[in-house]
Structure 1
């Protein structure tokens, strides 16, 4: 055979056989521990910034909430901005949510702003201004700018094309050559944003959740798998199997983590969140995270929750839509669960 189709299929099946063998030979807790360590190692480590002091950049009164913007840092030499949405009224002890956007123009896309920072009064795009939907239900929301999008695109890419949609390719490939991954950097910054959220006086540190869309779903599941202070998770436009999604569809390179599939398929990795509450949302017409892959993944994750003895803590919604956020059940589920 001159072509490698059969080779790829055989290697995938061998990986699955390895997963099954490991599952049979280990206790559930031992398997979870090994997978958690494997995920952490696969995405790579970034030196934490122990000395950066958060800086408030703006504070704006909006309809029913306050919008602040702060500057944070997760690793030396690199800072990032995050919007913080706070329900009006100055209450304390509120649930907090880490909101993570996918491909687009950054956190402004989920907090009701246009790329230039002006209010977006038009019909929301696929992100549905979901951070605003959450704060209006009574949650304090932090929405960090994910590196590689919007204001965080690389100068090297902008010089070639001022309209380049992202810097995912350059960031991913160069970090991989350095033994790190873009997912690792994004997760490190998400966890730093979470730490800042927990430190806010409005927030109850015991009532913390995350909601991520598309690539933000990748960051959300990985952050939740590695940080148990996250008590509830919503993944939308992301849950699938590697085989039915990133192996079958041309995805952005930021979805690929070297060696990760040798440890587990995506449903088992998402299952590391169990027994904490988890909501999975996907559109029936999502072409990059297809319906069949979502159904298979959800069934496998449900089996994990049944093994944990908490099948009721997993909820799903396959809604009539495309690659977009629905929130028709998920928003209220998250508030109710954290409440």
Structure 2
């Protein structure tokens, strides 16, 4: 980097039971590479500054107990994750080589879940740095159906993630409504056809509402979805172009 140069930052967020290193490693023999493809390292090579934080959804029942103990206090796991990221943003903004106005978020799986639950609530303000862009990979879906269906194999009713339900969420917001809070900031979905998180039809149904919202505001060029022929993994094609497009100085 040149003296005095400031660059855009991409915060790369791991998934369930992951670590920052999972987003970084380029060793194809490591199991985590199958999902992450070392995308944090790839983005460094693209010229971005990258930061990979540790989120608390690790430790199996240990973090799930934290969620359950928090619920009677009207809190969820994200009651702690949002302040954590708020502090992270404040710290990143102090670094001399960081352009505090260009800090983006790119998460996969539980990190994709974070992409629709954290950046929407942390917009850039005059007195507080925020996320200027968000990418949800391997998680965007029809959330309410996924939480309550007793006939679809993708439903959480058939999986061990018993902490996943958020109080009264079904009456408040699905993914389209959460994403609408990102506007007018750019938002993108990365979706593999064989991703077991949800069928393509669920994803398309929910994302159509996002696209309509952006189009009706006259900013349809600020949202995209990339479909690719793959499983639950980073594709790193359209999303990288999206980052370059919206983070260029």
Task: Output the TM-score relative to the length of structure 2.
Answer: 0.85
Q: Which protein is richer in strand relative to its size? A: 1
Query: How far has the Cα of 1:292 moved from its partner?
Result: 1.2
Contact preservation (8 Å) 1:98, 1:193: no
Q: 2:16 aligns with which of 103, 108, 116?
A: 103
Alignment correspondent of 1:147 = 56
Unpaired segments ≥5 residues, structure 2:
125-130, 150-154
Equivalent residues in 2 for 1:155-194 (5 A)?
Answer: 165=60, 167-194=62-89
CA distance in 2, matches of 1:144, 1:315: 25
Equivalent residues in 2 for 1:231-246 (5 A)?
Answer: 231-246=132-147
> Alignment RMSD, CA only?
2.1
Cα gap change, 1:257 to 1:138, in 2 (>3 Å): same
Instruction: List per-residue Cα deviations over 1:242-270 (Å, max 9, x = no partner).
Output: 23433341252443221122122221111
Query: How far has the Cα of 1:102 moved from its partner?
Result: 0.8
CA distance in 1, matches of 2:86, 2:163: 18
CA distance in 2, matches of 1:141, 1:289: 29
The secondary structure found in structure 2 opposite 1:97 is strand
Cα gap change, 1:148 to 1:263, in 2 (>3 Å): closer
Q: 1:323 aligns with which of 209, 232, 236?
A: 232
CA distance in 1, matches of 2:240, 2:182: 19
Stretch moving more, 204-213 or 188-197: 188-197
The secondary structure found in structure 2 opposite 1:279 is strand
CA distance in 2, matches of 1:300, 1:112: 36
Answering whether residue 175 of structure 2 is matched by residue 274 of structure 1, we say: no
Cα gap change, 1:285 to 1:171, in 2 (>3 Å): same
The secondary structure found in structure 1 opposite 2:67 is helix
Query: How far has the Cα of 1:293 moved from its partner?
Result: 1.0
Runs of 4+ residues over 3 Å off in structure 1 = 88-91, 165-168
The secondary structure found in structure 1 opposite 2:147 is coil
Query: How far has the Cα of 1:224 moved from its partner?
Result: 1.5
Unpaired segments ≥5 residues, structure 1:
1-87, 114-119, 154-164
Answering whether residue 39 of structure 2 is matched by residue 122 of structure 1, we say: no
Alignment correspondent of 2:116 = 221
Query: How far has the Cα of 1:228 moved from its partner?
Result: 1.3
Instruction: List per-residue Cα deviations over 1:266-315 (Å, max 9, x = no partner).
Output: 21111211121111111111112321111011101011101211111111
Q: 2:212 aligns with which of 303, 324, 327?
A: 303
Query: How far has the Cα of 1:89 moved from its partner?
Result: 6.3
- Structure possessing the higher radius of gyration over alpha carbons: 1
Answering whether residue 197 of structure 2 is matched by residue 197 of structure 1, we say: no
CA distance in 2, matches of 1:90, 1:127: 32
